[in-house]
């Protein structure tokens, strides 16, 4: 490794933005007094949930924002005062990669080369090197808009690398990209860092943090941790446990575990329950968890998320006040969601290709796959928002093609990013959603009142949803989807980009709801979220390539050097196996 220099220093920087709810009032701080340094030769991860201040921090370093307090020095220069000189030396890839979709790969490169003054021999050499590096040689004539997510990401990186910058700032490069491309990009960036570049990689995925050399962990504008990820996970190393060999209901075990004083956090992980202890010496009483006679407890490798939760002071409790209010639906083992040979074509593009699955009552079923794999299309056909080209979608015994509205009455739907009407108040949102799901009169009033009480929303009733703290916004979105007591709940990317405490609170409710006999179907591209599901369908390029419990899927790829594969490992290997198989059958035919 080459010698390391600190090339970006932040000294007690703060940044305020006008409060959208009250533009004339006091500005809201997006970053509070942060001091940190970024070194050459390593990948520094800027990690945190959405809205933590990651983009703001990167923009401060690139001179696109001016700090309200404190000083920033990038390559020894003031990013505002010496912007002109600095812009030639930093490579910056914004979210969505900053590419012109109407321009071809080569035209995008030409544009940025001209703008950055990469000319003559240097230009020729750079293009050749970057095209080879990104494996885009064959696609130079293709428009950027027609590239896959992974190829766009590489082209974005290539454009940012023109002019041989000393610093590479990447704002959420992993979003909208499949796990295979994400790993490829990571390797490329790692090589760049080893060759002496300073690389900042921002991400909301906590599993990416573990791969970084250095991590800056941001939450709500505060720097919670600065250092190698291992020093964070080391703090919780002895306190991460699996409760294994559980007989019966894992969700009940988790709920009881979270009630124990010794346990500070817990999640479901496949067929085990993962817990974080307050004290490595004090184990919870296994008998009180009701996990069955063969259950045991064992130490497992810590994750970055455990460390994050530890800093935040632990997760929420295991009790869902919402679920307590719901009427129990008898668990009769009936198939309530069923897709049979579901296919959807848009022109000559097959978004969903012959997908078949069944979900029984009281189950959490997840569709896992990268953006653009066809999850949303499948999902929309299951809730009757899209008509399949062929095949049938059945929900609660209704064929969506024939009796769509009867079926829709049975289901609740929560769209991505808690989509609520931002121009309506919280109360109006509750009224509206209960109304569209057919509640009226005294019944509607009672439902709104109940939700207000359960989720503690009374203080926010007249506020706009966007001004609510994230946790409350999430509760409101869930309240709107569940008020009419549906027997089936559809969740679209429910917790991506959310901090771990808020995510746990959400899943506590979902676990509670499922215990009451509600069936839940989730789409996610978020590997962590998949662990909460009873069963998962892996979706890749429109096809359902594997179905099973999270543990089944992991076991399918276990063995050899991979004794403890992650969900992401499983995904990548299964996609590759599937592609090979296809190639073989194509050859045979």
d(CA 536, CA 550): 6
Least separation in angstroms between CB 153 and other proteins: 13
4 is an interface residue for other proteins by CB under 8 A? yes
The single residue among 2, 21, 27, 101 that binds other proteins, judged by CB under 8 A, is 101
Distances (CA, A) of 283 to 3, 238, 260, 275, 307: 45, 11, 10, 10, 18
Question: Residue 486: exposed, middle, or buried by beta-carbon count in 10 A (0-12, 13-18, 19+)?
Answer: buried
Q: Does residue 466 interact with other proteins by CB under 8 A?
A: no
Q: Which CB sits closer to other proteins, 163 or 369?
A: 163
CB closer to other proteins, 166 vs 401 = 166
By beta-carbon proximity to other proteins, the closer residue of 75 and 514 is: 75
Q: What are phi and psi of 92, to 5 degrees?
A: -130, 125
Token pair 């060759």 in the structure block, residue? 195
Beta strands of 261-325 (E only): which ranges? 263-269, 272-277, 296-299
194 Cβ contact partners less than 8 Å away, ≥ 6 residues apart: 1, 2, 41
Only one of the segments 92-100, 403-411, 476-484, 531-539 lies at the binding site for other proteins (rule: CB under 8 A); that segment is 92-100
By the rule CB under 8 A, 245 interacts with other proteins: no
Residue 63 binding other proteins, by CB under 8 A: yes
Burial class (CB in 10 A: 0-12, 13-18, 19+), 555: middle
Q: Is 116 in the site for other proteins (CB under 8 A)?
A: yes
**Cα distance between residue 117 and residue 102, in whole Å:** 22
SS3 category, 174: coil
Dihedral sign (CA 377, 379, 383, 387): positive
Q: Tell me: does residue 80 bind other proteins (CB under 8 A).
A: yes
Take residue 284 and report the two structure tokens written for it.
């919870």
Among the residue ranges 5-13, 264-272, 307-315, 372-380, the one whose residues contact other proteins (CB under 8 A): 5-13
Answer for which of 54, 59, 475, 504 binds other proteins (CB under 8 A) is: 59
DSSP letters for 315-337: ---S--HHHHHSPPPP----EEE
Out of 46, 48, 54, 92, the only residue in the binding site for other proteins (CB under 8 A) is: 92
Q: Which of 62, 439, 464, 536 is the binder for other proteins (CB under 8 A)?
A: 62
Applying CB under 8 A, does 105 fall inside the site for other proteins? no
Piece of the chain touching other proteins by CB under 8 A; list 77-85, 301-309, 477-485, 508-516: 77-85
Q: According to the binding rule CB under 8 A, does residue 325 interact with other proteins?
A: no
Q: How many other CB atoms are there within 10 angstroms of residue 245's CB atom?
A: 15
Question: What is the nearest approach in angstroms of other proteins to the Cβ of residue 11?
Answer: 12
Q: Which of 13, 42, 57, 65 binds other proteins (CB under 8 A)?
A: 65
Residue list 133-162, contact with other proteins (CB under 8 A): 143, 159
Provide the token pair at 355: 């997908």
Question: Among 11, 33, 106, 110, which residue interacts with other proteins (rule: CB under 8 A)?
Answer: 110
Q: CA nearest 375: which of 544, 488, 527?
A: 544
Q: Pick from 554, 588, 589: which is nearest to 574 by CA?
A: 554
Residue 7 in the binding site for other proteins (CB under 8 A)? yes
Write the interaction track for other proteins spanning residues 16-35; mark x where CB under 8 A is met and - where it is not.
-x------------------
Interface positions with other proteins (CB under 8 A): 3-7, 9, 17, 39, 59, 62-66, 73, 75-76, 80, 83-84, 87-90, 92-103, 107, 110-112, 114-117, 119-120, 122, 143, 159, 163, 166
């Amino acid at each position: 490794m080459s010698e390391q220099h600190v090339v970006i220093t932040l000294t007690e920087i703060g940044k305020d933005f006008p409060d959208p709810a009250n533009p004339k009032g006091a500005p809201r701080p997006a970053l509070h007094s942060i001091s940190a340094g970024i070194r050459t030769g390593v990948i520094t991860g800027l990690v945190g949930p959405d809205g933590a201040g990651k983009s703001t921090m990167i923009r401060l370093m690139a001179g696109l924002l001016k700090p309200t307090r404190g000083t920033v020095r990038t390559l020894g220069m003031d990013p505002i005062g010496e912007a002109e000189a600095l812009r030639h030396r930093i490579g910056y890839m914004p979210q969505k990669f900053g590419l012109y979709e109407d321009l071809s790969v080569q035209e995008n490169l030409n544009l940025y080369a001209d703008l950055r003054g990469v000319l003559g021999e240097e230009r020729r050499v750079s293009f050749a090197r970057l095209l080879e590096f990104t494996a885009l040689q064959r696609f130079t004539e293709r428009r950027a808009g027609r590239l896959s997510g992974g190829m766009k990401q590489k082209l974005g990186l290539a454009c940012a690398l023109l002019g041989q910058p000393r610093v590479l700032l990447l704002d959420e490069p992993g979003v909208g990209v499949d796990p295979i491309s994400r790993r490829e990009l990571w390797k490329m960036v790692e090589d760049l860092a080893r060759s002496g570049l300073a690389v900042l990689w921002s991400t909301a995925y906590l599993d990416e943090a573990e791969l970084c050399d250095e991590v800056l962990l941001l939450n709500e504008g505060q720097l919670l941790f600065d250092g190698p990820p291992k020093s964070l996970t080391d703090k919780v190393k002895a306190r991460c446990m699996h409760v294994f060999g559980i007989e019966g209901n894992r969700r009940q075990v988790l709920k009881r575990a979270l009630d124990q004083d010794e346990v500070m956090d817990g999640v479901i992980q496949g067929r085990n329950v993962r817990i974080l202890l307050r004290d490595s010496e004090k184990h919870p009483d296994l008998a009180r968890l009701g996990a069955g006679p063969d259950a045991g407890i064992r130490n497992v490798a810590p994750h970055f998320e455990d460390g994050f939760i530890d800093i935040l002071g632990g997760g929420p409790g295991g009790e869902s006040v919402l679920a307590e209010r719901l009427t129990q639906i008898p668990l009769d083992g009936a198939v309530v969601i069923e897709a049979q040979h579901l296919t959807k074509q848009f022109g000559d593009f097959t978004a969903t290709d012959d997908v078949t699955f069944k979900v029984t009552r009281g189950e959490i079923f997840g569709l896992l796959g990268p953006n653009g794999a066809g999850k949303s299309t499948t999902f929309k056909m299951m809730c009757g928002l899209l008509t399949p080209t062929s095949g049938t979608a059945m929900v609660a015994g209704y064929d969506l093609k024939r009796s769509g509205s009867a079926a829709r009455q049975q289901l609740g739907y929560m769209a991505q990013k808690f989509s609520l009407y931002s121009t309506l108040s919280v109360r109006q949102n509750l009224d509206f959603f209960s109304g569209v799901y057919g509640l009226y009169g005294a019944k509607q009033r009672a439902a709104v009142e109940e939700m207000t009480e359960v989720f503690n929303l009374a203080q926010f009733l007249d506020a706009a949803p966007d001004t609510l703290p994230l946790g409350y916004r999430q509760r409101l979105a869930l309240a709107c989807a569940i008020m009419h007591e549906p027997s089936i709940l559809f969740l679209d990317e429910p917790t991506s980009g959310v901090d771990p405490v808020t995510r746990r609170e959400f899943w506590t409710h979902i676990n509670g709801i499922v215990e009451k006999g509600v069936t839940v179907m989730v789409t996610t591209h978020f590997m962590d979220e998949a662990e909460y599901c009873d069963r998962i369908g892996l979706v890749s390029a429109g096809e359902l390539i594997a179905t099973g419990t999270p543990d089944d899927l992991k076991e399918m790829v276990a063995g050899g050097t991979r004794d403890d594969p992650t969900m992401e490992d499983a995904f990548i290997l299964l996609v590759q196996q599937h592609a090979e198989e296809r190639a073989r059958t194509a050859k045979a035919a």
